[in-house]
Amino acid sequence: MKSEFLAAFNQICSERGLSREAVLEAIEAALISAYKRSFGSAQNVTAKIDPESGEAKIYVEKRVVEEVQDERLEISLEEAKRIDKNAALGGVVMIESTPSDFGRIAAQTAKQVILQRIREAEREALFNSYVERQGELINGTVQSITPQAITLNLGRAEAILPRSQQIPGERYHLNQRLRVYVLEVRKSNRGPQIIVSRAHRNMLRRLLELEVPEIFRGTVEIKAIAREAGSRSKVAVAAVQEGIDPVGSCVGMRGVRIQNVVNELGGEKIDIVEWSPDTRTFIANALSPAKVVDVYLEENSAHGKTATVIVPDDQLSLAIGKEGQNARLAAKLTGWRIDIKSVS
């Protein structure tokens, strides 16, 4: 088994991208399984493999007794002391019991278990690689489309884009390349179950990090996002460093930066507004593009936080927005209930 073992061992490690320790553990478990199948499962068995030579040895645990009644499980004190001079009655010793005829059946069994353990180790490694990418953007190719979900081919794994995480109104086709946000990674018997999204607000956050160097470097900070995917979003940003225009940084020259994000999200409108530590100013900014005359704040246990916003008569419909969307997104962005009233 020596040279053959080392050759196979090194090949498995390199081809499967597994650590030597993981493969050794799988083989040792396989040898124990094979031994127990051929020679009885009652014994407590340990397998040890020399990682350099590939030599495998089987050790059986035996209890030290005065009178041996079952040779498979027991050993006399006299014999035990030949193996371990510190052996004592009631204790245990490990006896090398590597069969000379471990043979073909045991080898086949070991191979089956090894393959199973390697598949498990590969699934675990794949799971861990995608767990690390949770909260990031990845690219995939549309593999199948059903009314409930879209399956994406990621190369070594598949991802599920549920209907609830799709952008409303967005159309998909087979072999289409899609950028998605990794929402959750779960374990399953078939490998990692990767749930992705295009509707999550953090999809927008990650796209802005890609397009706006100031956000990526941390000189501009995203304070809050309110998103109605496929329709409209509002993003509150603040400058961390003096002299930086946070809104202008996100929009870019001639709107190029924000347009790239809009295009990625299928034409979704994106309002970039400046965050302010002053709540009244922040609420006024959040209602952009509407102009605000004044903001009155009220907090109580019965109604929570309510902002009454006064706007010019000709700005009322703009402040409220189509079907109340502008006011609704501003409320989500600021965390305040917003009542909009005209000056008159």
Which residues on neighbouring strands pair with residue 271, listed in sequence order?
234
pLDDT in tens, 328-339: 999 999 999 999
Cβ atoms of 140 and 196 within 8 Å: the answer is yes
pLDDT in tens, 205-242: 999 999 999 999 999 999 999 999 999 999 999 999 88
Terminal-to-terminal C-alpha distance of the chain: 93
The yes-or-no verdict on residue 279 having pLDDT over 50 is yes
Judge residue 342's burial from the number of C-beta atoms within 10 Å of its C-beta, 0-12 exposed, 13-18 middle, 19 or more buried.
middle
The owner of tokens 């006024």 is 284
The owner of tokens 């320790």 is 21
pLDDT at 1: 46
pLDDT at 94: 84
3-class secondary-structure state, position 292 = coil
Cβ atoms of 31 and 58 within 8 Å: the answer is yes
pLDDT in tens, 152-211: 999 989 999 999 999 999 999 999 999 999 999 998 877 889 999 999 999 999 999 999
The owner of tokens 């100013």 is 281
And the tokens for 183? 């929402």
Name the pLDDT band for 93 (thresholds 50, 70, 90): confident
Domains of the chain: 2-130 (3.30.1480.10), 134-197 (2.40.50.140), 200-275 (3.30.300.20), 279-344 (3.30.300.20)
- What pTM, to 2 d.p., does this model score? 0.73
Judge residue 217's burial from the number of C-beta atoms within 10 Å of its C-beta, 0-12 exposed, 13-18 middle, 19 or more buried.
exposed
- 246 vs 275: CA distance, rounded Å: 9
75: left (phi over 0), alpha (psi -120 to 50) or beta: beta
The yes-or-no verdict on residue 19 having pLDDT over 80 is no
The yes-or-no verdict on residue 323 having pLDDT over 70 is yes
Name the pLDDT band for 112 (thresholds 50, 70, 90): confident
Least confident of 8-12, 295-299, 306-310: 8-12
Average pLDDT for the chain? 88
pLDDT at 5: 61
Which residues on neighbouring strands pair with residue 212, listed in sequence order?
none
Nearest residue to 228 via CA among 327, 337, 339, 335: 327
Q: Among positive and negative, which fits the CA dihedral 41, 43, 48, 54? A: negative
Cβ atoms of 211 and 179 within 8 Å: the answer is no
Cα 164 from chain centre: 19
